[in-house]
Amino acid sequence: DDIDRAYFAVFDGHGGVDAANYSATHLHVNVGLHEEIVKNPAKALKCSFQKTDEMFLFKAKREKLRSGTTGVSALIVGNNLHIAWLGDSQVMLVQQGKAVTLMEPHKPERE
């Protein structure tokens, strides 16, 4: 279609780099192939995070890997910004020199 899209992501491995590398390799593919990417980009992001997690868990069990990752991604669709994150990764947007709160960070004391 004629809509410009851009995708950015950062992953921070915990207990090794396997999960972070796997996510960096597969998440954007899952997002791009998701059936809702055009109509509902937020749903596509959420479902793709879940699918990528399930895929890595299967690989980790098969290969006896023991790592994890936090992650944050931004999907720009036209003039809309969609943010998804996992764990304690955070996103900061600075607009005209001021921080704009985009998310409530994950903290151990939060349910």
pLDDT digits (tens, 9 = 90+) for 37-58: 999 999 999 999 999 999 999 9
| Per-residue buried b or exposed e for 71-88, using 16+ beta carbons within 10 Å of the residue's own CB | bbbbbebeeeebebbbee
pLDDT band of 94, cuts 50, 70, 90 = very high
pLDDT at residue 33, rounded to an integer:
96
Instruction: Select the more confidently predicted residue: 68 or 103.
Output: 68
Instruction: Select the more confidently predicted residue: 32 or 105.
Output: 32
Partners of 6 in beta bridges: 76
Rounded CA-CA distance 66/97 in Å is 41
Read off the pTM.
0.86
State whether residue 56 is helix, strand or coil: helix
**6 pLDDT higher than 90:** yes
